[in-house]
Structure 1
Amino acid sequence: MRYNAAMRSPGLKLVVAAAISGALALLSSCSKSKPQQTVVLAGMSMANSMRFEFAVYLLPRSAGDPSAVLREALAGKYSSLKEVAEIPSAPRGMLVHARLERHALREYPPPDLKSLSYSGYGLSAEQAQALQRSDEAFILEFAHPKENVWIALRTANSLVEEIARRTGGLIWDGETREVFSPDAWRKKRLASWTAVVPDISTQTVIHIYPAGEYMRAITLGMGKAGLPDVVVQEVPASHDNQAGNLINLVCQSMAEGVTFKPSGKFNLNLHAIKDSRVRDTQLKSLKPNAAGMACLSLKTGKWEEGDPKNRLVELSADRYSGPDHQSQQTSMIDSIFGSEDEYTEVKHTDALLEASRKARAHLPELHQAFNAGLQPGEYIQLKAPFEAPDGGREWMWVEVASWKGEEIKGTLANDPFKVSGLHAGQIVEVREKDIFDYIRQYPDRHQEGNTTGRILEKLEEQNGRTKRRTLPTKPQITQCDPE
């Protein structure tokens, strides 16, 4: 018997936020029909002007008058900003419009405690509770032309921090739907901003949530830079990190001035990222067979409930070969970041069969948990057999996308070594009665299962053999065709 001993390992460590606006919502889509999409318009990048909204929630017994703090700040350190009674449609300078909402609980309600558990940063338990009683919010709307995009955003970030510090308030980013203490705001939004263009991921957030059988990932906050938000559809849950890293790299490219061509093709080159920290962090995590390049198609994204009110660009992997969307997407991710698989050749032992029997006893509860709905970041993989040409079986992991009775559909998590016609990411169907083991990953990234895998490792040690490690046999795209 040949076992693919572990899940594919792209080796990426960045974790993206898994939340949806206001309160955590696990959305699902009943419709699987895909709307007609057009490629993005040539030059669809930075808007001529941009506007966005921050606010400072004033906690009960606020320490100061935010209007007075604003006037003093604009007369001094922030004199480049001009306060106006109304924001024009085409601002010609760095503008701010401020108003005090005295009935915030009704007209501008803060996030509830559940929402704060994933969209609140640096808040004490007392501050989180006090925020629920906050009935005043000092709302600031900023606007400016694209020529001022980065200095204006940095100025707005600094100004709202100062107002929050001097009033004892908490900062609300209306674009990313997050709440920060002043210290957390400085750490996230300002501390690492040393060049003209920031690491754009410090100004945005990525929401990843269930949408039908797979996940949907979308940015919030790109509108602050006058740039479109970015979405990736039908992401297997185990690929959320890779999808998030891909999105961040595309966003960074746009922030650094990349424009889109009429063809809709976009060749993302990791080596072309100008921000050395963003670039080098990813380069260090690449597998040996990584091309550091993704050949993307950019399409006009379809707006869904909860999405930012902004232009949307969808990243598509349809320039890669494969029988379905998931296999193309996996090929694209493997191309830019690389991957590796492990396999072991062993005969079934009594210990291995007993471990499998115990693992299979968990299948009913796994089936029930899956159909009840998994949380963002949670997934189930099952070890299933595939017939090899030599008459043997190759056991590989399948990430569950659908589980109806005995029939299980999912995406193949491994590249086979003997079975032809299959590759990682491809949609396959298996039967529950054939399952040998399971892996369940929870939202906090801890895992259960794979007891047979640990036995395989012991068998290898006893036999004095090391685990074989082989790179994917299918060729990686190392050069994209011209845009």
Structure 2
Amino acid sequence: MKKSVLIFSCLMLFITSGLHARHLDRSSKLNFSYVIYFSGDNSNVTQQTLVKLFSTSLRGFTFVEKFKRRQKNNHFAITVMDKDNSRYFIPSTQYLRHASLGLSVKHLQKLKQKPRLAYVSFFYNSGKGYSQLNRINKALHAIIQQYDAVIWDYSTRQMISSKAWQSLRLGGWQNGIPYVAGQINTHAYKKGKGFRIISMGQKKFGYPDIAIERFMWADRQYAGLLVNLLSQALVERAIEIQLGKFVMTMDKLTNKVFLKNIVGRMKVPLPKKITIAFRVVQRDKGDPDNRVLALDFRWKPGVNEKDRQHRYFVSLFKQDQRMDMVKNNNKEILAASKRAIKKLPSVRRRFNKGLAPGFVRVKASFKTMNGGVEYMWVQIVKWRGSSISGTLISSPVNIPAMKAGDKVKLRQSKVFDYVLRNPNGKIEGNESGKLIRKFRRR
């Protein structure tokens, strides 16, 4: 989940002429909470011990018995729970498969044994930088490392081991600026007829969390990249918190971790200027306790929202739209397609048993304007017998009358291959696609 960011040392902002962008303020008073899980020989840790450790590592923070939001000075509160820990979240093993970082089998077993919990809250004035957050991260790591404990981050909804905390929360800082992807999480899920993704954890920096709503599942990778990019840009102060449409100009990228993990993996460099539009939206159920800004695509040309989003992602991340040309008599590819076609009845049954739209897509043949064939991906919405209804997720090259986002109907006999995403995240299919990339005619 997590959450997959941009750091810029010098990004100038230009407000697009004729449009108004309304500025919002960064939150200066920050508060967030964690739960530390102690088990085994360390389950006897006391509040007094933890207060002493935090007071030593967090000079300038005062311990208070009761957390007070209106208190002016930097402070922290700790509540240690013994056997009666039902007030706090103890995640199931199934949940931890999707929301844990670095947890071993031993950790999972210990969590089943009613560990002692320490609920820790921090309140502080952020100032201009993020040094206080870094200090808190270090103080928490020292404790979970010393006691072989694990920690639940309320803002990101993740259970994290000491080793993972050190790598993500302490790694990637440069000149007082963090690699934001290591500090936050992203959560994508189905909502209505589309999908929604939101960042989780921007509250630590005083900034709103960012959401993209009603996008196609085929665009999930680009939606995640954009959320992380803008989250990093806010923390880097490359862009301001503002509503409306504006242009972000990127001159220099400074964070080496970001450059390696995100920018370095892109086949095509990001544009030097990126047009952004934000709007305030109401929090969805399960969203972080924070302000939420959603990307607004209404300014982008397109027949509907999904089409506008897809065009935007393609223009920003330079999705490769050229056709993959291979010989139509390639024996390996044709054999892979035959194997996929034989599995279609089983895939259809699994889809109709309850897999949500977006979990299955098929590659099907469509006639081009010159009488040829172009293969494109369709996200399945309905599959009855040999009739398939869905949403086109490819951008046609030689079929001007069609575009990504169109509703299409086709016969199962037109299917060349499929991709099935299981609820546990495992991907099946697209064997022919791997071979097409191998034999691609350049």
| TM value normalised by structure 1 | 0.77
How far has the Cα of 1:332 moved from its partner?
Answer: 1.2
Partner of 1:10: none
Q: Please, which of 221, 226, 245 is the counterpart of residue 241 of structure 1?
A: 221
Q: Please, which of 404, 409, 414 is the counterpart of residue 395 of structure 2?
A: 414
Verify: 1:100 aligned to 2:74, yes or no. Answer: no
The 8 Å contact of residues 151 and 159 in structure 2, kept in 1 or not, is answered as: yes
Q: Equivalent residue of 2:90, what SS?
A: coil
Quote the Cα distance in structure 2 between the aligned partners of 1:383 and 1:328: 22
- In 2 relative to 1, CA 269–332 (structure 1 residues): closer, same or farther, beyond 3 Å? farther
Partner of 2:305: 325
Query: What is the 5 A alignment of 1:177-188?
Result: 177-188=157-168
Give unpaired runs (5+ residues) of structure 1: 1-14, 19-38, 461-465, 469-483
For residues 6-48 of structure 1, what are the alpha-carbon distances to aligned partners after superposition, in whole Å with 9 as ceiling and x for unaligned?
Answer: xxxxxxxxx8459xxxxxxxxxxxxxxxxxxxx9983235213
Quote the Cα distance in structure 2 between the aligned partners of 1:452 and 1:169: 44
Q: Equivalent residue of 1:61, what SS?
A: helix
How far has the Cα of 1:365 moved from its partner?
Answer: 2.4
Partner of 2:408: 429
Q: Please, which of 133, 137, 140 is the counterpart of residue 117 of structure 2?
A: 137
Verify: 1:254 aligned to 2:234, yes or no. Answer: yes
How far has the Cα of 1:160 moved from its partner?
Answer: 1.8
The 8 Å contact of residues 26 and 241 in structure 2, kept in 1 or not, is answered as: no
For residues 248-286 of structure 1, what are the alpha-carbon distances to aligned partners after superposition, in whole Å with 9 as ceiling and x for unaligned?
Answer: 110011112221345x11434554555343245433333
The 8 Å contact of residues 63 and 166 in structure 1, kept in 2 or not, is answered as: no
- In 2 relative to 1, CA 89–149 (structure 1 residues): closer, same or farther, beyond 3 Å? farther
Q: Equivalent residue of 1:438, what SS?
A: strand
Q: Equivalent residue of 2:346, what SS?
A: helix
Quote the Cα distance in structure 2 between the aligned partners of 1:135 and 1:243: 38
Verify: 1:365 aligned to 2:346, yes or no. Answer: yes
The 8 Å contact of residues 63 and 77 in structure 2, kept in 1 or not, is answered as: yes
The 8 Å contact of residues 45 and 228 in structure 1, kept in 2 or not, is answered as: no
For residues 65-88 of structure 1, what are the alpha-carbon distances to aligned partners after superposition, in whole Å with 9 as ceiling and x for unaligned?
Answer: 342333333453322211123343
Verify: 1:200 aligned to 2:180, yes or no. Answer: yes
Query: What is the 5 A alignment of 1:2-401?
Result: 16=2, 42-62=22-42, 65-147=45-127, 150-257=130-237, 258-262=239-243, 264-269=244-249, 271=251, 273-279=253-259, 281-288=261-268, 291=271, 293-340=273-320, 341-344=322-325, 358-374=339-355, 379-401=359-381
**Further displaced range: 129-138 or 366-375:** 366-375
**Further displaced range: 342-351 or 110-119:** 342-351
Quote the Cα distance in structure 2 between the aligned partners of 1:41 and 1:285: 32
The 8 Å contact of residues 156 and 184 in structure 2, kept in 1 or not, is answered as: yes
Quote the Cα distance in structure 1 between the aligned partners of 2:53 and 2:335: 71
- In 2 relative to 1, CA 199–414 (structure 1 residues): closer, same or farther, beyond 3 Å? same
How far has the Cα of 1:153 moved from its partner?
Answer: 1.3
The 8 Å contact of residues 85 and 117 in structure 2, kept in 1 or not, is answered as: no
Quote the Cα distance in structure 2 between the aligned partners of 1:218 and 1:51: 20
Instruction: Report the AA paired with residue 407 of structure 2.
Output: V
Instruction: Report the AA paired with residue 23 of structure 2.
Output: G
Instruction: Report the AA paired with residue 211 of structure 1.
Output: K
Q: Equivalent residue of 1:51, what SS?
A: strand
How far has the Cα of 1:289 moved from its partner?
Answer: 7.7
Quote the Cα distance in structure 2 between the aligned partners of 1:317 and 1:389: 30
The 8 Å contact of residues 123 and 181 in structure 1, kept in 2 or not, is answered as: yes
Quote the Cα distance in structure 1 between the aligned partners of 2:396 and 2:441: 16
For residues 236-255 of structure 1, what are the alpha-carbon distances to aligned partners after superposition, in whole Å with 9 as ceiling and x for unaligned?
Answer: 33332221111111001111
How far has the Cα of 1:308 moved from its partner?
Answer: 1.3
Quote the Cα distance in structure 2 between the aligned partners of 1:189 and 1:40: 37
Asked which structure has the greater RCO (Cα within 8 Å, sep 6+), the reply is 1
- In 2 relative to 1, CA 273–69 (structure 1 residues): closer, same or farther, beyond 3 Å? farther
Quote the Cα distance in structure 2 between the aligned partners of 1:53 and 1:130: 22
How far has the Cα of 1:147 moved from its partner?
Answer: 0.7
Q: Equivalent residue of 1:342, what SS?
A: coil
Instruction: Report the AA paired with residue 367 of structure 1.
Output: R
**Further displaced range: 79-88 or 62-71:** 62-71
Q: Equivalent residue of 1:250, what SS?
A: helix
Quote the Cα distance in structure 1 between the aligned partners of 2:178 and 2:332: 54
Quote the Cα distance in structure 1 between the aligned partners of 2:282 and 2:260: 33
How far has the Cα of 1:91 moved from its partner?
Answer: 4.4
**Further displaced range: 438-447 or 291-300:** 438-447
The 8 Å contact of residues 292 and 336 in structure 1, kept in 2 or not, is answered as: no
The 8 Å contact of residues 382 and 400 in structure 1, kept in 2 or not, is answered as: yes
Instruction: Report the AA paired with residue 296 of structure 1.
Output: I
Partner of 1:31: none
The 8 Å contact of residues 410 and 427 in structure 1, kept in 2 or not, is answered as: yes
The 8 Å contact of residues 278 and 296 in structure 2, kept in 1 or not, is answered as: yes
- In 2 relative to 1, CA 278–374 (structure 1 residues): closer, same or farther, beyond 3 Å? farther
- In 2 relative to 1, CA 100–148 (structure 1 residues): closer, same or farther, beyond 3 Å? farther
Partner of 1:467: 441
- In 2 relative to 1, CA 225–293 (structure 1 residues): closer, same or farther, beyond 3 Å? same
Partner of 1:439: 418
Seq. identity, %: 20
Give the ranges of 4+ consecutive aligned residues of structure 1 lying more than 6 Å apart after TM superposition. 348-355
Q: CA RMSD in A?
A: 3.3
Size of the aligned set, in residue pairs, is: 423
- In 2 relative to 1, CA 214–369 (structure 1 residues): closer, same or farther, beyond 3 Å? farther
How far has the Cα of 1:210 moved from its partner?
Answer: 2.2
- In 2 relative to 1, CA 356–57 (structure 1 residues): closer, same or farther, beyond 3 Å? closer
Partner of 2:11: none
Q: Equivalent residue of 1:321, what SS?
A: coil
Verify: 1:448 aligned to 2:429, yes or no. Answer: yes
| TM value normalised by structure 2 | 0.83
- In 2 relative to 1, CA 411–195 (structure 1 residues): closer, same or farther, beyond 3 Å? farther
